[in-house]
Amino acid sequence: MTHFQTGLLAPIPSHAMYLHFYCLPSSTEQQIKQTLSQLSSFTSQHDIVVGLASLLLERLGVSIPGLRAFPELSNQVVEIVRPNYDLWCWLRVAERGELVQALQQIQTLLSPVFKLSLQVDAFQYQSGRDLTGYEDGTENPQDAAAISAAILSSDNPQLHGSSFVAIQQWQHNFAQFNSMSSHAQDHMIGRRRLDNEELEDAPESAHVKRTAQENFEPEAFVVRRSMPWMRDDQAGLYFVAFGHSFDAFEAQFRKMLGLEDHISDALFQFSKPLNNAYFWCPPIQQGRLNLSALGI
């Protein structure tokens, strides 16, 4: 029996919704705990991944080792916005229509205590490509390596099987992207869109050169489960990285920002993160979220 939220390592679903909630200031500790306990039952019947933010746990007087707020990082090119979401849910379905009832149910369940702040509609594109047409997730660790990268192994049963997720909603500027030659686009990513071949002669700013996981010291592996999103005429990639800590993601993102060598990731030429957040994904026990670390 798995001790982690299974959606976390399962293949990308056809459709999904990323939901971000604030906890109402008037909510009492008891109400929060009751609602999270109900959410835990909901997770046993739905394909969903749940994450809790450090601020929410602070309100409950709980500290999870390694859980922190998204760091204050920035460079000259990018402004990093860090909304204080308390709760994150990734609803995963096979058909878009299934999201309607699932969304209503989860909102009803959470509504006395949590307010929906941001809803991002996501979908699979061409079996796992970004909307630019590049295959995403190629270098994800697989099987046992994925478990070891994404899932915390701990002597403490309250933490064993939990995970730390970094999320960033990136918005693409397609006019900018389309104005580049396909050669320039390939060199921006560091892979050829046509056959996904890695380009040895790509510049240091190429995305895969910035993020090559085995080149970090220590190696920085994460399991990425990003999905394209769209709303009206805006679209991009909802980036999701699960780790047994935030360290690997943070090392990669710092390198993307060029904080050490002043070379920023070429991706910033056409895309920017609109919002950024960290959550702790509790383990699973008997099919339900194991919230014993919160005294639930």
Give contact residues for ligand HEM (rule: CB under 6 A). 130, 134-139, 168, 170, 189, 191, 207-208, 211-213, 237, 239, 241, 249, 252-253, 256, 267, 271
Nearer to ligand HEM, 94 or 259 (CB): 259
Helix (H) or strand (E) holding 98: helix 98-110
Single out the residue of 282, 245, 56 nearest to residue 160, CA to CA.
Answer: 282
Nearest distance from C-beta of residue 202 to ligand HEM, angstroms: 11
What is the dihedral sign for C-alpha 24, 15, 169, 136? positive
For residues 295 and 140, what is the distance between their CA atoms, to the nearest angstrom?
A: 34
Structure tokens at 239: 């980036």
Structure tokens at 222: 């994460």
Q: Is the peptide bond before 157 cis (omega within 30 degrees of 0)?
A: no
Nearer to ligand HEM, 98 or 135 (CB): 135
| Cα diameter, the chain | 58
140 secondary structure, DSSP code? -
What is the dihedral sign for C-alpha 230, 232, 235, 237? negative
Nearest distance from C-beta of residue 250 to ligand HEM, angstroms: 8
Nearest distance from C-beta of residue 78 to ligand HEM, angstroms: 11
Structure tokens at 68: 């922190």
Nearer to ligand HEM, 24 or 73 (CB): 73
φ, ψ dihedrals at 157, nearest 5°: -60, -20
- 20 three-class SS: strand
Nearer to ligand HEM, 54 or 271 (CB): 271
Nearer to ligand HEM, 92 or 191 (CB): 191
Nearest distance from C-beta of residue 239 to ligand HEM, angstroms: 5
Nearer to ligand HEM, 207 or 225 (CB): 207
Nearest distance from C-beta of residue 121 to ligand HEM, angstroms: 17
Nearest distance from C-beta of residue 67 to ligand HEM, angstroms: 18
Nearest distance from C-beta of residue 196 to ligand HEM, angstroms: 7
Work out the burial of residue 80: count CB atoms within 10 Å of its CB; fewer than 13 is exposed, 13-18 middle, 19 or more buried.
middle
Q: Where are the alpha helices (DSSP H) in 11-87?
A: 29-45, 54-59
Nearer to ligand HEM, 43 or 252 (CB): 252
Nearest distance from C-beta of residue 56 to ligand HEM, angstroms: 24
Conformational region of residue 98, where left means phi above 0, alpha means psi within -120 to 50, and beta covers everything else: alpha
Is-contact 150 163, C-beta < 8 A? yes
Nearer to ligand HEM, 12 or 113 (CB): 12
